[in-house]
Amino acid sequence: MRVRWELVLLPALVISLVLLLASQFVFLKGSLQRDLGMGVMAPGLTLDNFREIFTDPYFLSSLWLSISVSTIAMVITLLIAFPAAYAIARMDGRWSIVLLAAVVVSSFLTIVVKILGLLLIFSSSGPLNRTLFWLGAISEPVTIVGNIPGVILGLIYYTLGFAILLFYSIVVTVPRSLEEAAEVHGASRAGVFRQVVMPLCLPGIAAGALMIFNVNMGGFSSTALIGAGKILTLPIVIQRTVILENNYGLGAALAVLLLGVVLVINAFAVWLLLRARRGMIV
């Protein structure tokens, strides 16, 4: 008797598709409706919301801010996470488990508590500013509230733990024996890294970088808390439009813009990757 796995799959697929399509369809439609206030939407479909977005520099500059902040945060996260993941993967068993456990714990904790701790560290009477004062390095306290470096730091906290786990899972697929073989044959440490480790990890790093960028683009909680209403990235503007201004139509249109930009950037990146890979083979 054969088990019909398709039938096992079917209910799950139906539920997932319904949730996905229903929510996406309703808000796509909402983005084409004008908001009459009090949660009532005008019946006719129109492009007015999008016209408003594309003619108002406020919305476009917040989109641009989102893209640049997300990119910078992604690059810094990569620079910390990949070497750390590599070091953990090449370590002796017991320590690597302890270090991985620490990452798992920290990435499971809600970002809100992490940001709370970050604000404590950077508060004007906090440990960092006291130390810097004592060293005579600063005359004004360093702050992260309401400025762009602070928001970038918040985004890094949002993705760092996840990024280490992701890159760890990529590095462990590269056998240590390959590196040893290259070393035995006289390659330098840098040479091994550049010519053995990097080429093998590159597709994984690129895919991981894209995931981190996507998460950053949707980064909301940390930016809301650290940005303190001064740094208005697109997710913040969306939340304000919906919750504070109760303009559901415009909010949905802004969400469509965010989703669309993320999808286009992803498609472009995948296209670049495929082209680069083809170049490598040829």
Query: Which residues, including other chains, have CB under 8 Å from residue 229's CB and lie 6 or more apart?
Result: 146
Selected range binding another protein among 45-53, 57-65, 262-270, 273-281, rule: CB under 8 A: 262-270
Q: Using CB under 8 A as the criterion, what x/- string covers residues 185-224 for binding another protein?
A: ----x-----------------xx-----x--xx-xx--x
Min. distance of Cβ 203 from another protein in angstroms? 9
Instruction: Note whether 238 binds another protein by CB under 8 A.
Output: yes
Selected range binding another protein among 144-152, 160-168, 194-202, 273-281, rule: CB under 8 A: 160-168
Task: State whether residue 41 is helix, strand or coil.
Answer: strand
Q: Using CB under 8 A as the criterion, what x/- string covers residues 22-41 for binding another protein?
A: xxx-xx--x--------x--
Among 160, 174, 209, 212, the residue binding another protein under the rule CB under 8 A is 160
User: What is the rounded CA–CA span in Å between residue 120 and residue 143?
Assistant: 11
Burial string for 255-274 (b: 16+ CB within 10 Å, else e) reads bbbbbeebeebeeeeeeeee
Nearest-CA neighbor of 200 among 218, 179, 229?
179
Helices (H), 45-186: 48-55, 57-89, 93-108, 111-122, 127-134, 148-171, 176-184
User: What is the rounded CA–CA span in Å between residue 130 and residue 173?
Assistant: 44
User: What is the rounded CA–CA span in Å between residue 52 and residue 72?
Assistant: 29
Site for another protein in 92-151 (CB under 8 A): 97, 99-106, 108-121, 123, 125-127
Residue 113 corresponds to which tokens in the numbers above? 């508590």
Min. distance of Cβ 219 from another protein in angstroms? 8
Among 53, 69, 78, 166, the residue binding another protein under the rule CB under 8 A is 166
Among 72, 84, 142, 265, the residue binding another protein under the rule CB under 8 A is 84
Selected range binding another protein among 46-54, 131-139, 143-151, 233-241, rule: CB under 8 A: 233-241
Min. distance of Cβ 141 from another protein in angstroms? 13
Site for another protein in 46-75 (CB under 8 A): none
